[in-house]
Structure formats: C-alpha cells, structure tokens
Amino acid sequence: MTGDKPTPSQTRPGLVRSLIDRFGHLVRELSKFATVGGLAFFVDFALFNYLASVQHVPPLAAKTISTVVAATMAFLGNRFWTWRHRQRSNPAREYALFFFFNGVGLGIAVACLAISRYGLGSIWPGVFQTPLADNIASFLVGTGLGTLFRFWSYRRFVFVEAGTPPAPGTSHDRDSGA
C-alpha cells in the first residue's frame, strides 16, 4: 500500500535533477575553467624552466615570456571552450580585460604572500618566514583566492552573457514545440 508521502527514493531524483538544472552549467564552466587553468599553469612552468635552464634566458625575461604565452593560451581556451556559448564582443577588449583581471589575480597571490611573510612573519618568523609558509601562502591560498576572483571576473566582465534565456512556459517555448 502506498501512502501520500513520497519515499526518499522518489523525491531524491527530483532534487538532484533540480540541482543539476540549476547549477549544472556552472559546474561545467568551472570544470572547463580549471582544465584550461591547469594546462596554462603547466605551460607557464615548463616554458619558464626551459627558457631559464636550457636556453639561459634571464629569469625575469623567461618568466615574462612564459606568463604571456600561458595567459594567451588560457584566454584562447576560455574564449573558445569554457565560454564559447557566450556572446563575442571586441576581441581586443576581451583580451585587455582578461590580462587586467589576471593582474588583479596575481596581486591577490602577492598580497597573501606579503601578509604571511611580513605581517604574520613579524609575529612568528620561525613559522611564517619559511619556504613552506611562502609556498602555502602564495600557491595554495593566493592562487586559490585569485582563481576564484578570475573565474568570477571573466564570467562577469570578459566573456559576457548574451542574454537571459526565456523562462519555461513562455510563448517562445510553445512556438518552438517544447
């Protein structure tokens, strides 16, 4: 005999489907963004080390070249894969904003390192003025916060939404046979 209350197995698919419908696009964008960012990080790291170690390019020049190449690759990956469904505007505008927000993201990582090394390090230098603390502050905390900022800013300002899709049940849905 079935009661009026749905069982957990009956309500769960509806809840899961609702969450996927609501946030699935965001999860897909975030996954693609992370993939592009990971590849760009690898290109930056590998190219820097190749230029500095094998080609004997001075470190600052090597880092500048590797960063520009990796950021350009990240821009192309995000424009043509992560947010390919978004409206295209002036490519020069998108590229300039992309580099601007990359600079802000870099500033976030540097600020985290400075707070750890010089702020907390002045209180507890044995812990916060170490290579391990520098790496944690810069790469884990700083890059993590900077990545969240970049995802939000690229999504909001660089690769802008073309428009709001029509709501279910509107005349557009009826006209399209949905």
pLDDT in tens, 80-98: 998 887 777 788 888 899 8
* Cβ pair 57, 51 in contact under 8 A: yes
Do residues 95 and 156 share a domain? yes
My answer on whether 102 and 79 are in the same domain is no
Do the Cβ atoms of 36 and 78 come closer than 8 Å?
yes
Cβ within 8 Å of residue 58, ≥6 positions away: 52
- Asked if residue 122 and residue 70 are part of one domain, the reply reads no
**Global pTM value:** 0.64
pLDDT at 20: 63
Is the pLDDT reported for residue 176 higher than 60?
no
Question: pLDDT band for position 172 (50/70/90)?
Answer: very low
* Residue 25 pLDDT > 50: yes
Number of domains the chain contains: 2
Which of 50, 69, 85 corresponds to the end of one domain?
85
77 and 104 share one domain: no
Report helix, strand or coil for 5: coil
The predicted pLDDT at position 100 comes to 94
So what's the pLDDT on residue 6? 56
Distance CA 61, CA 55 (A): 12
In a domain, 11, yes or no: no
92 lies in the same domain as 158: yes
Q: Are residues 131 and 145 in the same domain?
A: yes
Asked whether residue 102 falls in the same domain as residue 61, the answer is no
Domain contains 50: yes
For residues 59 and 95, membership in a common domain is answered with no
Domain that holds residue 141: 88-162
pLDDT in tens, 134-166: 878 877 888 889 889 988 998 888 887 765 444
Residues 123 and 80 in one domain: no
CA–CA dist 155, 82 (Å, integer): 10
The CB density around residue 76, as the number of other CB atoms within 10 Å, is 13
